[in-house]
Amino acid sequence: MREYTVTLSDEEEKALLTDMVSIQEWLDNVIHNKARQCIDMIVEQHSDRQPKKLPVEEKLRVVREAKVESAAERQAKFEAEMRERE
């Protein structure tokens, strides 16, 4: 598992706490929801199954076995193609 850290100024923290009870809980929820959406997208693209009908373990198996490019890899490929066109 990976761990990520976010650093906030006192003012940023104060502002955020006017809108949410827990910054950590909000961050956990938003990142796990984004991961769920990306997992479902990979399942749709790399299998003939409907992600909403699959158990989580089956979705994770599809992701483990899928050959996917990261966003950084796609960006680098795009930039290389753009340089070739110049």
Q: What is the tally of structural domains in the chain?
A: 1
4 within a domain of the structure (yes/no): no
Q: What angle do CA 34, 38, 41 make, to 5 degrees?
A: 140
Encode the chain (86 residues) as per-residue pLDDT tens digits: 999 999 999 999 999 999 999 999 999 999 999 999 999 999 999 999 999 999 999 999 999 999 999 999 999 999 999 999 98
71 within a domain of the structure (yes/no): yes
**C-alpha closest to that of 66 among 85, 81, 49, 79:** 49
CA atoms within 13 A on the CB side of 15: 5
Range(s) of the domain holding residue 61:
10-85
